[in-house]
Amino acid sequence: MVFLGMDIGTGGTRAVIVDANGKVVASASSEHAPFRATSDGWAEQDPADWWRAAQEAIRAVLTASKLQASDIACIGLTGQMHGAVLLDKAGDVLRPSLIWCDTRSTPQCNWLHTMIGREKLIELTCNPALPNFTLTKLLWVRDNEPEIYARVAHMLCPKDYVRFRLSGSYAMDVQEASGTLLLDVTHRTWSKEVAQASGVPLEWLPELFESPAVCAKVSADAAAKTGLLAGTPIVAGAGDQGAGAVGMGILKPGAVSATIGTSGVVFAATDRPVRDPGGRLHTFCHAVPGRWHVMGVTQAAGLSLRWYRDTFCPGTPYNKLNELAVKVPAGSEGLFWTPYLVGERTPHLDPEARASFIGLTAAHGQGHLVRAIQEGVTYSLRDTFTLFAELGIPVRGSVRLGGGGAQGALWRQIQADIYGHPVEILTAEEGGAFGAALLAGVGAGAWKDVDAACDAALQVAETLQPQAQNRITYEHGYATYRKIYPATRNLRG
């Protein structure tokens, strides 16, 4: 018995096959076309490209595993959150998807806060209106493309669109739905009040499920396109942060992870919906039934380093950049990076925030720039730990690291030093696709629940302790970093 997990990310689709012992049997991926981004905050992708990549990744992982399609007991999906996929009555895509980092919908956020009230919206959904959320993107289409809006019959998020293509079913898990701004997060159901106030018909919204629940089956048409077996069950899965937390074992109160991918997320599991009155943290349903989570988001985490490389030294391997950065002392000799390439969520909630190097001198070289980027991203993530302390959200033991920021030794140590907590690396950090596969295993009955799946599958490979001298340097550095945004936020062209 094996399980297929798929992650429909921003840059590509990844597929992993995991066995009943929680071991990865095979993995494969297929890149997406680069998303279309503009200077005014637009970011779009073509859902057809996700489906193309999904087919390629599924066929590739089946080949790599040397298994039969009949060996796959269940499928789990995860992917980039918040993207608005708008379909007509026939299930055809009406326009490219406005994805998670699209920030054009600030006017629609303001409209929602006026219509419903900001405090009331946080009461109903545990979150304020932000340009990243799905509802605000839908409302932008309403206001700017009324001819398309008039044809909308269904609204999905990216991984749920791929499930639709796999099965013909319109379904979504409650963890993903938390990021639409249409979910009553406390009661894990669609908010009739928010839908009515925003003019969104409830029939546009897919059926809701808990993450490990089977909600669809592979269709004959999709089986022919992917090599899967028709009738293979598919669980609801979770958005990338929920599934990634499962893949890292962040399930119970006090457990915390820090993941640096394209964006960066500090994620804490809770046993109740903890609301931040300021809306600076997101409060979502967890992929574990009956639990919730809070998270802070840095919009351009790994994206900051990728932007630097692709702009100033295209094609240079990241390990070469790290070799330069490791020669630079902690604190980058007074150089700071604020990672606001696509605005910022936590804690500023400012889609107009802009990135900057601060303190640049002729003595700084490429290694300083690279290390300052890694430190600046980590300072930004530390802002979430500061909010956790303010709201009484516990951080017990080590912080588990994931994503590209967990791959390099330097960035791992920087995180331990800036967070002020020991950090852990798992033996097999396969990210969201792995977590989706574990959810599929629970749905197939291989494990009784998500906790049992993680107990069976996860092991810690390494623990790093904060270095005392670096802690002192970074405490001073963080105090300076926190002064930069207030000092520069009005300096916009």
Phi, psi at residue 411, to the nearest 5°? -65, -30
Question: Which ranges constitute the DSSP H helices of 227-365?
Answer: 240-248, 302-312, 318-325
Instruction: Please indicate whether residue 417 is annotated as part of the active site.
Output: no
Task: Give the amino acid at 86.
Answer: L
What are the phi and psi torsion angles at 436 (to 5°)?
-65, -35
302: region left, alpha or beta (phi > 0 left; psi from -120 to 50 alpha): alpha
Q: Are 108 and 139 in contact (CB under 8 A)?
A: yes
DSSP-assigned letter for residue 201: -
Selection from 146, 9, 110 nearest residue 351 by Cα: 110
> What whole-number distance in Å separates Cα of residue 9 and Cα of residue 52?
13
Structure tokens at 248: 């890292």
Are the C-beta atoms of residues 78 and 15 closer than 8 Å to each other?
A: no
Q: Is residue 421 a contact partner of residue 399, using CB atoms and an 8 Å limit?
A: yes
- Closest listed residue to residue 433, CA positions, set 1, 86, 25, 132: 25
Note the residue count of the chain.
Answer: 493
Bridge partner list, 136? none
The residue to which tokens 């810690």 are assigned: 460
Give the active site residue among 7, 184, 240, 276.
240
Cβ neighbors of 310 (< 8 A, separation 6 or more) are none
Q: Which residues are catalytic?
A: 240
